[in-house]
Amino acid sequence: MKKIAITLVCVFFASGVYAYDAVLEFSGGENRGPVLFDHEWHMYDFDCLDCHHVMENGENVLDDADLVEGNPDILCASCHDSQAEIDSTHAFHYQCMGCH
């Protein structure tokens, strides 16, 4: 029984180290600290198009087939940069406030 407990602790520790790579950190402002975003955790509760979007005439026209790892066009910063009408700080704020 003790060996099983030790093995489980090792597995949980190893998976935690592996999962840390999938967490994004967004810097905080003067009044708030950084925010960690775990993409995998959010995938369990939401449809991809709830967050990922390409808006045209008020409608999300993003094709699910574009949502592949490594596609730079699906990153938030590909549209929500400092020059955008809605920069990344405001986009994250608007997108996250509904649940958080």
Match 């090792």 to its residue by tokens: 10
Residue 25 near residue 36, CB atoms below 8 Å: yes
pTM of the model: 0.58
Report CA 3 to chain centroid distance, whole Å. 36
The yes-or-no verdict on residue 9 having pLDDT over 80 is no
Query: For residue range 43-66, what is the model confidence (pLDDT) as tens digits?
Result: 888 899 988 999 899 999 999 899
Q: Which two tokens stand for residue 94?
A: 């608007």
Distance between CA atoms of 42 and 64, rounded to whole angstroms?
17
Confidence bin at 20 (pLDDT 50/70/90)? very low
